[in-house]
Amino acid sequence: MAEKDFLEKRIRELDQQCYDRDIIRYTDFLDIREQSVYLSMQRELSSDSLLYGGHEEADRQMAMFLPSYMDRDYPELAAESCMALLLARPLNERFSDDLTHRDFLGALMNLGIERSKTGDILTDGTKAYIFTTSDMAGFICDELRRVRHTSIYCEKVPLSACDIRPKFEELRVNVASERADAVIAAVYKLSRETASALIEAGNVFMDGRELRKASAELREGCRLSVRGHGKLRYEGTENVTRKGRLYVNIKRYV
């Protein structure tokens, strides 16, 4: 609770600074639970604000508070003042390990960097794009020299340069209804009771907001994040069986 109170206070401070001084203000990168706290406050804030993580499917995002001269429809322009994108790649790909997200994250944590200072890390097994706060970009470029046994070169690139996107698999699942607990149970092969318990424990988020009711109906295009299991996007119903069950389409991120 203390962490939530601190975050709420910080959000209010940044919002007021933006409103009073008409300058951009921003948080560090927020995880899904922290984003939910921000979203629960958004309507009561004085300045225009939004979440942005550098790309459309970002897991970790900054709350950015926008001055009057910035347009929320172009978050990438606002992000240029607070966010940086780094490209990390092997000095010699012939002698490179197969590098995972965990490998790159571990190397960054070994440098003593707080997790809130880095956003998503997107990798294809060789190179990685690392979203980070602007103030950490130079330090990471100077200090990130090795990931596992692979020597790495790191450089700052434009935010638009990232050509790796999260991967997903398309699923067609049979469910009793569009209720959140029914869909989560079917996708992750859980019982309805277990899916309901995850929701009631505050471990499921829909479009960034904590989902509070297992009976909530999913809407086409919504995104669910289930802590400990993964992310999915609900693509809506396809058809109905003779017994009244539904076939629904899902994109599950892998």
**pLDDT tens-digit readout, 103-132:** 999 999 999 999 999 999 999 999 999 999
Encode pLDDT of 207-242 as tens digits.
999 999 999 999 999 999 999 999 999 999 988 888
In the chain, the domains with their CATH numbers are 2-79 (3.30.1370.160), 83-161 (3.30.70.330), 168-253 (3.10.290.10)
What average pLDDT does the structure give for the chain?
94
Alpha-carbon span 34 to 208, nearest angstrom: 9
Res. 44 pLDDT band, cuts 50 70 90:
very high
Tokens representing 37? Answer: 């706290």
Residues 158-179: tens digit of each pLDDT: 999 999 988 899 999 999 999 9
pTM: 0.89
pLDDT at 1 exceeding the cut of 70: no
**3-class DSSP string for the chain:** CHHHHHHHHHHHHHHHHHHHHCCCEEEEEECHHHHHHHHHHHHHCCCEEEEECCCCCCCCEEEEEECCCCCCCCHHHHHCCCEEEEEEEECCHHHCCCCCHHHHHHHHHHCCCCHHHEEEEEECCCCEEEEEEHHHHHHHHHHCCEECCEEEEEEEECHHHCCCCCCEEEEEEEECCCEHHHHHHHHHCCCHHHHHHHHHCCCEEECCEECCCCCCECCCCCEEEECCCEEEEEEEEEEECCCCCEEEEEEEEC
Compute the C-alpha angle 32/188/242, nearest 5°: 125
Bridge partners for 90 per DSSP: 152
Q: Is residue 40 over pLDDT 90?
A: yes
Task: Record the tokens describing residue 177, joined without a space.
Answer: 């209804």
133 and 85 in contact (C-beta within 8 Å)?
Answer: no
Contact 126, 89 (CB under 8 A): yes
Cβ pair 187, 173 in contact under 8 A: yes
Bridge partners of residue 49, in order along the sequence: 65
Q: What is the structure's pLDDT at 237? A: 92
pLDDT (tens digit, 9 = 90+) per residue, 192-205?
A: 999 999 999 999 99
